[in-house]
């Protein structure tokens, strides 16, 4: 479980982590149907319809009443050399 203000290494699998870290800025639940175009853009999608299509492909349905966790974070970087 993460908490607001905490910083965490990015996990790539159950046992593996990257050296890069994120800091959790906000942690809350909200209804899936309250998602906006701006929220979809934050998730990396062109628009809300594209996000809904991907959600349906992954979970089978887009239930607007479903409660989902929203985790807002900022990238803190790391010491890995590219």
pLDDT in tens, 21-74: 999 999 999 999 999 999 999 999 999 999 999 999 999 999 999 999 999 999
- What whole-number distance in Å separates Cα of residue 24 and Cα of residue 40? 19
Domain ranges for the chain, please list them. 7-77
Structure tokens at 6: 């905490």
- Are 64 and 56 within 8 A, CB to CB? no
Which one, of 35, 32, 40, lies nearest residue 65 by Cα?
Answer: 32
Q: Which strands, in side-by-side order, build the sheet including 17-31?
A: 7-11, 17-31, 67-77
Q: State pTM to two decimals.
A: 0.73
CA distance 9 to 15: 12
């Amino acid at each position: 479980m993460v908490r607001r203000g905490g910083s965490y290494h990015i996990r790539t699998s159950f046992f593996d982590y990257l050296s890069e870290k994120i800091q959790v800025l906000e942690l809350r639940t909200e209804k899936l149907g309250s998602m906006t175009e701006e929220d979809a853009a934050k998730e990396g999608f062109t628009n809300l319809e594209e996000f809904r299509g991907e959600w349906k492909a992954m979970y089978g349905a887009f239930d607007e009443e479903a409660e989902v966790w929203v985790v807002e974070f900022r990238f803190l970087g790391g010491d890995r050399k590219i």
